[in-house]
Amino acid sequence: MKVIWKAKDFGQSFKNPVLTLGNFDGVHLGHQRIFKQVREKAKEIGGDSIAYTFEPHPVQMLKPEREPFLLLPIAERLRLIGELGIEVAICAPFTREFANLTAEEFVRDILHEQIGVREVFVGQNTTFGRNREGSVPLLKEFGQRFGFAVEAVEAVEVRGAVISSSRIRKLVRAGDVKGAAELLGRYPLLFGEVIHGHGRGSKKLGFPTANLKTASVLFPKPGIYAVWTIHDAQRYPAVANLGWNPTFHDRNFSIEVHILHFDKDIYGHLLRVEFVERLRDEVTFRGPEELITQIKKDVAQAKKILKVD
Ligand code: ADP
Ligand code: MG
């Protein structure tokens, strides 16, 4: 997938562009349905399939003090969109100037004049333009005026409710990674670089943990999880611990993974962690011995969940 990091002035022309528009945080099953329709339409009319998205997320620009809430860092969001067969991603820098474009200016100047869009697929509650004034009915009006078709794609429902990024965020925050996976169509993820901790895992406990420095995204609720860890294109079963290590009175929040059947120095390497199921809360033990006993139980439980030996 080609990525264009510009709001306009793309320096190229598109062929029969079929486009979708949105933040696509999580690239969940609802987004996936939209991308599929875009891809199929583009194929049918011999056009380019385009995802138009924004970075930073509008809320990050308008309220920078808010805690990280995104499900995915931008690089992974784009990678997943590319995996779904979209040919071009336009990633518009979401600046104040951009936020001030009226719905009409955005459609006329960018979608119509710059891109020459032929067909737009959007979710039913899509908004765009200043103060989110643009809606699907308004987009349809503009479509008639500027000569492009508009398809409102039906939302995907799971367990009787529509899938949305905010519904998934709630589940992840609550530690229900299994529920979140159902709406994402894959496990919730974290990425990070392996950094140095206190060196306690291997020396004191006999369970080394790769400590991660992650991008500023939403973390699952603190606790212990059965996870898959991807290192160097290989998947390993693992147990993750998100929390404050209360048994050792640590002050800093840490994200650590103990990879099963693994023994390599991976400081400085990148890991991807897929959260499968939450095992328990983090608790304070009277000392390392008790903690070790519990970790052994965690490992056994994670093996069962991940169906490995
Ligand atoms: P630190 O406090 O620096 O994280 P640890 O004692 O927890 O130190 O050891 C973690 C390091 O050990 C990891 O960063 C990695 O390089 C290495 N390591 C070896 N085997 C494993 C394993 N099975 N799981 C995680 N890390 C491992
Ligand atoms: Mg560690």
pLDDT digits (tens, 9 = 90+) for 35-77: 999 999 999 999 999 999 999 998 888 888 888 899 999 999 9
150 and 193 share one domain: no
Report pLDDT for 246.
Answer: 81
Among 194, 195, 202, say which to mutate for ligand 1: greatest number of ligand atoms within 8 Å of CB.
202
- Averaged pLDDT for residues 260-266: 96
Residue 251 has pLDDT above 80, yes or no: no
CA–CA separation, 270 and 284 (whole Å): 29
162 in a structural domain: no
In this structure, what token pair is assigned to residue 154? 């039906």
Angle (CA) 275-279-284 rounded to 5° is 120
**Nearest CA among 229, 214, 206 for reference residue 275:** 229
CA–CA separation, 32 and 98 (whole Å): 26
225 in a structural domain: yes
* DSSP three-state, residue 303: helix
Concatenating the DSSP letter of every residue in 138-196 gives HHHHHHHHHT-EEEEEPPPEETTEE--HHHHHHHHHTT-HHHHHHHHTS--EEEEEEE-
User: Atom 12 of ligand 1 has which residue's CA nearest to it?
Assistant: 208
151 and 191 share one domain: no
Catalytic-labelled residue, pool 87, 119, 151, 256: 256
69 and 22 share one domain: yes
Q: Where residue 245 falls among pLDDT bands split at 50, 70, 90?
A: confident
Residue 133: give its domain's CATH number: 3.40.50.620
Collect all residues with Cβ–Cβ distance below 8 Å to 253 and sequence separation of at least 6. 222, 242, 243, 244
Percentage of residues in the chain with pLDDT exceeding 70? Answer: 100
168 in a structural domain: no
Pocket of ligand 1 (CB under 6 A): 194, 196-203, 208-211, 258-259, 262-267
Report pLDDT for 18.
Answer: 98
121 and 29 share one domain: yes
177 in a structural domain: no
Question: Which of these three, 135, 155, 175, is where a domain ends?
Answer: 155
Is 256 among the catalytic positions?
Answer: yes
State which residues form the domain around 145.
Answer: 2-155
- Averaged pLDDT for residues 222-230: 98
CA-CA distances (angstroms) from residue 210 to 43, 73, 247, 280?
A: 44, 20, 18, 20
CA–CA separation, 22 and 48 (whole Å): 17
The total of structural domains in the chain comes to 2
- Averaged pLDDT for residues 155-182: 97
CA–CA separation, 134 and 106 (whole Å): 9
Question: Which of these three, 114, 140, 155, is where a domain ends?
Answer: 155
179 in a structural domain: no
